[in-house]
Chain A
């Protein structure tokens, strides 16, 4: 079904964009200048303090009001990416924060530059701690993508509702939808567990 494809596409796209934003945000929180940290902090706390639906509506209705005409899909992807970025920032910050300061100090002691420290000392150790929450965020994202049905983006949720409208097989179709979402998210969780095993050095 096309709806399923839209859900998957939206989720993957948002995850990619959101992770990029999140890496930027997370590193800013950890290593940025004071004004940068303050700005990212406000961004993360604000986005995490409001419901996702409000964010989606605000962007979907608000952007055209400011003069920017975007399609429903683009508005939804933007809103979800902002949301995902905030979460990923926290995940990355938490992961890197949990690495003992001694590691960074040791890196500095043997003369590594900031870039080298990040690449050879911090990153390998942080990945193992970032991966589970990040996979969790991915699962949450697939579930959250169902909200785009409320701004008329035809994802799995809305497609199912349209079919229910045509055939009146409410119970069966919602059960099918539940099963599909479950399979997708369960698969993501399983993949996540496999990835975690690969990256577990510590």
Chain B
């Protein structure tokens, strides 16, 4: 019979807590970098020349069809061999996750861009803005309101994906769980607590997202 013993888990709680915060940080950072990639990709796909569109489409299709774990290993183990500066495991992971999210966000932003009514862009041009100014003051703000729900969902997804960082020994939440498990063998207690931590964080993010949506909701 399994004897429940919750104390080891709570004694090491700061390990888990720090791992959680790191995970949230990684998710946010990867989202930010991925958003830059996604924005560039989306603009390239909608407004760019033929070669840019094909290149971005290929990037998106490729990254979306391979496992994230493979991308992580590729960035961490394979890239240094061809001379790319040896990134430590944390930044390798952030980079890998950013590449991964960039592909998904390109699609998200592309849908957002294409959903903007032509009238707004023409109004901008009529007022005398250059193409770049139209992009900056008209298109992007409008697009952000449209993509906000998707962006939030991607963030939650990325947060769950940070658990894979444990595979390359980044000290985030899942790695903390493994460590406590290895030291104390309190498997059920650890994974219950860690599972709850993930759940509560995801639900909180979803709730915050809904609040944000209410504030910035698209006016249709």
Contacts and interface: CB of A to CB of B under 8 A. Distances in A.
Contacts of A61: 181, 187, 191
B15 to A, nearest CB: 15
Interface residues of A, number: 38
A49 B198 contact: yes
Interface in B15-74: 61-62, 65-70, 73-74
A145 B77 CA distance: 20
A182 interface: yes
B188 A66 contact: yes
Contacts of A57: 174, 177-178, 191
A66 B2 contact: yes
B191 A157 contact: no
Given A171-B82, A174-B74, A157 B202 contact: no
Interface stretch (B85-93, B159-167, B212-220): B159-167
B77 A143 contact: no
The 4 closest A-B pairs by CB, nearest first: A51-B163, A146-B67, A185-B65, A58-B191
Contacts of A1: none
B123 interface: no
Contacts of A164: 77
Contacts of B67: 142-147, 157, 181
A65 B198 CA distance: 22
B108 to A, nearest CB: 15
B78 A170 contact: yes
Given A65-B2, A66-B188, A171-B78, A54 B163 contact: yes
Contacts of B185: 65
Interface of A: 46, 49-55, 57-58, 61-62, 65-67, 139, 142-147, 149-150, 157, 161, 164, 170-171, 174-175, 177-178, 181-182, 185-186, 189
Contacts of B177: 54, 57
A174 B181 contact: no
B203 interface: yes
Contacts of A53: 163-164, 166, 174
B82 A65 contact: no
Given A54-B194, A62-B191, A170-B81, A181 B70 contact: yes
7 contacts: A51-B174, A54-B194, A66-B188, A161-B73, A164-B77, A178-B74, A181-B70
Contact of B70 (A52, A146, A170): A146
Given A171-B78, A171-B82, A177 B181 contact: no
B207 interface: no
